[in-house]
Amino acid sequence: ARNSPVDYLSDLNPEQRQAVETTDGPVLVLAGAGTGKTRVLTTRIAHILATGRAFPSQILAVTFTNKAAREMKQRIGLFVGEAIEGMPWLGTFHSIGVKILRRHAELVGLRSDFSILDTDDVIRLLKQLIVAEGLDDKRWVPRVFAQMIDGWKNKGFGPEDIPEGDARSFGNGLGRELYRAYQQRLIALNACDFGDLLLHPIRIFRTHHDILADYHRRFRYILVDEYQDTNTAQYMWLRLLAQRPRSHADEGNAPQGVNICCVGDDDQSIYGWRGAEVDNILRFEKDFPGAAVIRLERNYRSTAHILGAATHLIAHNEGRLGKTLFTDRPDPEDQKVSVHAAWDSDEEARAIGEEIEALQRKGHALNDIAILVRASFQMRSFEERFIEIGLNYRVIGGPRFYERQEIRDAMAYLRVVANPGDDLAFERIVNVPKRSLGDAAIRQIHDTARLLGVSMLEASANLAESDEMKPKPRGSLRAVVANFSRWRDLLETTPHTQLAETILEESGYTDMWKNDRAADAPTRLDNLKELIRSMEDYGSLREFLEHVALVMDKDKNENLDAVSLMTLHSAKGLEFETVMLPGWEEGLFPHQRALDEGGRSGLEEERRLAYVGLTRAKQNLHIWFVSNRRIHGLWQSTVPSRFLEELPEAHIKISEGGSDFGGYGQRSDQAFSSSYATPGWQRARQNRNEATSRNWGNRSGPAVERIGYGEADSGYGAGRGAVKSHTIEGE
Ligand code: ATP
Ligand code: MG
């Protein structure tokens, strides 16, 4: 039967089998994409359980996302049957960290019912502390400090450990004091942030050897997936749990403590910007002497063309550990990776939509198709198009475009202008950006509105002229009321896109994000630009708002057969029959910001991200680039990504048919760049080579117009389901 212990082993190749059966001692599986690393981990757990080496509660298994943890549980269940009651210690670093901390909270001054603050809470708290120090919170931005603290915690630094230079760089040299005050406040509030979920346990393990020894006895086997993306704090935490101190080992007979198995791929390290240390892989053998290092070379996921394209691309990186990869996955159609060009992002979305419908007609399930984007703003044109043609889709690892905070805020302004009675919208933005209209003021507006039986905006107009309100909020309220009445007057005379821009400018909303030095602020500004751009497709503000209302109303049934839409970062570890990779243009992918800030290593991390994208595909892989991106109503010509050039000719086919270029000759609108007037990617590529020699040294040259792509929008926290909300799964 399927569940007999031997059966699962027979499904493995010899190296995989070795990785599963080497249960004792440290094991590092270092292997390329799709070679079965995750499968090895799952089978290894099944093997440990089936052979009675440990109970489920004695296995600690770390996955990168909650989703991965759930899938792993299911698969283990298939192997070993229902008899196994869950696995309490299978989850993300955060979900396991919180569980450990709850058991020993009192040792760091917390109660076991401590709460976990999300980013907004943290920022609010930091702001209070910054202001209390007499510092200007405009100059010393709380959000920026929150990110600094997160960075320190990723490195395992408490307030005492941060380098002097770091400490001095914030708050007039008060960085360390502020960090310390923050930690004290958290304790006083019986709360912690996400970093503390690992840092507190690390401190407890270091100071309470009895507790650590207890965990050493408890966790007989430790397993870690996506090991290349662990950061220093995670690594310290793991090492404490996995490594018995020498003294233990020396006196005991057989030190069986270090049954740790990590699997990873240095070529898929894509969280360097969040503090992940790929060097952890290199240190493994040093920290765990006698480690068995197992390499898997056979890829079971992708066809030869897909794998060939991916390995050729990643070979352009330096400083790799180097791996061999081959596949014998049959591909009766001998299908190459296809590269398509489109005029702009709308055409790209239209063409991809058609491609998907064609696949659907051939019997492919939508669940087997994914679109992986570099930056979240790219999703909008796909979402729009899919809604238009009635194609089911789901966005994984982030809110859908119109559900994003900045988009909802902007829409709220527009809704009030279109409909002054929209109290929900009004309330959302009356104090965004901050205008000293706090809870008390809002309550007053509410009460007045109820009393007079009018809208909140009208009530505000009333209050602004009475002396019931304190002078400061009254002044702000008067300005808000005046603004809305002016914008409403413009409604009839000004084109709606221009009006929207005016509103976001005059309300201070755009400035709010411009002044925000947080890493995700540029992304938000991009999304706002994209919002305005998308309004051009509608005749009036009302038409646009109706459209969005309908979009928002789409049901979100999870069990639907649907195309997956997500960022490359959140696609890690997943696989799909068909993968579409749009937006392969310089500046977008590789992302300009990664190049500007990371230099060569930034480029290499982008290339690893491309490698992750390519290797998600099993059978069909399509790459797209557009010749023009329209930002703010302006055409900007783009240059195909250098990564396209790094794909070997033998494995790609350049798609010339269909709508890809057909329309080019007829398109004479606007600033259609003459360099793309000749159809064909070859031509584009040739042009790009010219552009290359002209501009690579000086990237502000004319052929490469810089488009304001924002933050590598992998999303702060993308891929880590657990970090986003108060609730941590598996707790
Ligand atoms: P990634 O680096 O992308 O995380 P991975 O190394 O974790 O990839 P898996 O996801 O474990 O790879 O495996 C890739 C695919 O190959 C899966 O569909 C898996 O079921 C299949 N596979 C792995 N090993 C075997 C095998 N021995 N026989 C058949 N299929 C296999
Ligand atoms: Mg995997």
Distance CA 306, CA 316 (A): 16
Q: Which atom of ligand 1 is nearest to the CA of 612?
A: 3
- Model confidence at 721: pLDDT above 80: no
Verify whether residue 502 is a known catalytic residue.
Answer: no
| pLDDT higher at 680 or 573 | 573
Distance CA 16, CA 180 (A): 47
- Per-residue pLDDT tens digits for 59-89: 999 998 877 888 888 888 887 776 566 788 9
Q: Which of 268, 523, 578, 619 is catalytic?
A: 268
Distance CA 137, CA 150 (A): 19
Q: Which of 226, 266, 606, 705 is catalytic?
A: 226
Among all bound ligands, the one having the nearest atom to the CA of 329 is 1
Structure tokens at 439: 């809870």
- Decide: 659 and 350 in contact? Cβ < 8 Å: yes
Q: How far is the CA of 53 from the centre of ligand 2 (A)?
A: 24
Nearest CA owner, ligand 1 atom 14: 34
Q: How far is the CA of 50 from the centre of ligand 1 (A)?
A: 21
- Sign, CA torsion 722/725/729/731: positive
Length of the chain: 731
Pocket-forming residues, ligand 1, beta carbon under 6 Å = 11-13, 16, 31, 33-39, 265, 268, 300-301, 573, 575, 615
Q: Which of 73, 374, 400, 616 is catalytic?
A: 616
- Give residue 630's pLDDT: 67
171 assigned to a ligand binding site: no
- Give residue 492's pLDDT: 87
- Decide: 676 and 687 in contact? Cβ < 8 Å: yes
Choosing from 11, 266, 294, 300 the residue with most ligand 1 atoms within 8 A of its CB, the one to mutate for a pocket test is 300
Q: How far is the CA of 40 from the centre of ligand 1 (A)?
A: 8
Give the mean model confidence (pLDDT) for residues 494-500. Answer: 94
Ion ligand 2 nearby residues (CB, 5 A): 37-38, 573
Q: Which of 15, 225, 347, 586 is catalytic?
A: 225
Verify whether residue 225 is a known catalytic residue.
Answer: yes
Integer-rounded Cα radius of gyration of the chain:
28
- Per-residue pLDDT tens digits for 541-554: 988 887 777 666 55
- Give residue 728's pLDDT: 42
Distance CA 160, CA 167 (A): 10
- Give residue 126's pLDDT: 93
Among all bound ligands, the one having the nearest atom to the CA of 616 is 1
Q: How far is the CA of 63 from the centre of ligand 2 (A)?
A: 9
Three-state DSSP at 372 gives strand
Choosing from 301, 372, 609, 616 the residue with most ligand 1 atoms within 8 A of its CB, the one to mutate for a pocket test is 301
Among 116-125, 128-137, 322-331, 399-408, top mean pLDDT goes to 128-137
- Residue 324 burial class via C-beta count within 10 angstroms: exposed 0-12, middle 13-18, buried 19 and up: exposed
- Per-residue pLDDT tens digits for 259-314: 999 999 999 998 887 777 777 887 888 888 889 999 999 999 999 999 999 999 99
Nearest CA owner, ligand 1 atom 21: 300
- Give residue 656's pLDDT: 62
- Give residue 695's pLDDT: 30
Give the mean model confidence (pLDDT) for residues 491-519. Answer: 92
- Give residue 558's pLDDT: 54
Q: From 232, 240, 190, select the one nearest 211 (Cα to Cα).
A: 240
Distance CA 645, CA 303 (A): 20
HEC per residue, 8-19: HHHCCCHHHHHH
Nearest CA owner, ligand 1 atom 30: 300
Give the mean model confidence (pLDDT) for residues 206-223. Answer: 94
Q: How far is the CA of 681 from the centre of ligand 1 (A)?
A: 34
Three-state DSSP at 445 gives helix
- Model confidence at 470: pLDDT above 60: yes
Angle CA(219)–CA(221)–CA(223) in degrees, nearest 5? 115
The ipTM value here is 0.99
Choosing from 10, 21, 38, 579 the residue with most ligand 1 atoms within 8 A of its CB, the one to mutate for a pocket test is 38
Three-state DSSP at 332 gives coil
- Give residue 257's pLDDT: 54
Verify whether residue 616 is a known catalytic residue.
Answer: yes
Q: Which atom of ligand 1 is nearest to the CA of 42?
A: 11
- Decide: 115 and 239 in contact? Cβ < 8 Å: no
Q: How far is the CA of 28 from the centre of ligand 2 (A)?
A: 14
| pLDDT higher at 725 or 193 | 193
Among 6-10, 30-34, 255-259, 285-289, top mean pLDDT goes to 30-34
Among all bound ligands, the one having the nearest atom to the CA of 572 is 1
Nearest CA owner, ligand 1 atom 15: 301
390 assigned to a ligand binding site: no
Verify whether residue 37 is a known catalytic residue.
Answer: yes
Mean pLDDT of the chain: 82
Among all bound ligands, the one having the nearest atom to the CA of 36 is 1
- Per-residue pLDDT tens digits for 580-626: 999 999 999 999 888 888 788 899 999 999 999 999 999 999 999 99
- Decide: 63 and 230 in contact? Cβ < 8 Å: no
Verify whether residue 374 is a known catalytic residue.
Answer: no
Distance CA 528, CA 650 (A): 41
DSSP letter string, 95-154:
HHHHHHHHHHGGGGT--TT-EE--HHHHHHHHHHHHHHTT--TTTS-HHHHHHHHHHHHH
Tally Cβ neighbours within 10 Å of residue 462: 19
Distance CA 433, CA 676 (A): 42
Q: How far is the CA of 393 from the centre of ligand 1 (A)?
A: 25
- Decide: 728 and 117 in contact? Cβ < 8 Å: no
Task: Write the CB contacts of 491 (distance below 8 Å, at least 6 apart in sequence).
Answer: 417, 418, 499, 541
Q: Which atom of ligand 1 is nearest to the CA of 574?
A: 3
Tally Cβ neighbours within 10 Å of residue 78: 12
Q: Which atom of ligand 1 is nearest to the CA of 39?
A: 11
Give the mean model confidence (pLDDT) for residues 464-483. Answer: 92
33 assigned to a ligand binding site: yes
- Model confidence at 657: pLDDT above 60: no
Q: From 526, 540, 493, select the one nearest 410 (Cα to Cα).
A: 526
Distance CA 50, CA 400 (A): 42
- Give residue 85's pLDDT: 65
Among all bound ligands, the one having the nearest atom to the CA of 265 is 1
Q: Which atom of ligand 1 is nearest to the CA of 615?
A: 3
* pLDDT band at 246; cut points 50, 70, 90: low
Give the mean model confidence (pLDDT) for residues 231-245. Answer: 89
- Give residue 551's pLDDT: 64
Q: How far is the CA of 301 from the centre of ligand 1 (A)?
A: 6
Nearest CA owner, ligand 1 atom 2: 33
* pLDDT band at 516; cut points 50, 70, 90: confident
- Decide: 171 and 181 in contact? Cβ < 8 Å: no
Given the structure tokens 């309330």, which residue do they identify? 427
Q: Which atom of ligand 1 is nearest to the CA of 226?
A: 4
* pLDDT band at 566; cut points 50, 70, 90: very high
Given the structure tokens 């190049």, which residue do they identify? 595
Structure tokens at 676: 């793309």
Tell me which of 155-164, 181-190, 225-234, 517-526 is least confident: 517-526
Q: How far is the CA of 3 from the centre of ligand 2 (A)?
A: 23
* pLDDT band at 232; cut points 50, 70, 90: very high
- Give residue 594's pLDDT: 87
Q: In what order do the strands lie in the sheet with 90-91?
A: 90-91, 59-62, 221-224, 260-264, 27-31, 292-296
Task: Write the CB contacts of 320 (distance below 8 Å, at least 6 apart in sequence).
Answer: 266, 267, 314
- Decide: 393 and 367 in contact? Cβ < 8 Å: no
Give the mean model confidence (pLDDT) for residues 19-29. Answer: 94
Q: Which atom of ligand 1 is nearest to the CA of 35?
A: 6
Three-state DSSP at 570 gives helix
- Give residue 559's pLDDT: 64
Q: Which amino acid is at 722?
A: A
- Model confidence at 340: pLDDT above 50: yes
* C-alpha distance across the termini of the chain, in Å: 34
Q: Which amino acid is at 197?
A: L
Given the structure tokens 């019931």, which residue do they identify? 468
- Give residue 198's pLDDT: 94
DSSP letter string, 484-520:
HHHHHHHTTTS-HHHHHHHHHHHTTHHHHHHS--STT
- Decide: 108 and 203 in contact? Cβ < 8 Å: yes
- Model confidence at 636: pLDDT above 70: yes
Choosing from 7, 39, 328, 618 the residue with most ligand 1 atoms within 8 A of its CB, the one to mutate for a pocket test is 39
Verify whether residue 73 is a known catalytic residue.
Answer: no
- Give residue 557's pLDDT: 52
51 assigned to a ligand binding site: no
* pLDDT band at 100; cut points 50, 70, 90: very high
Three-state DSSP at 292 gives strand
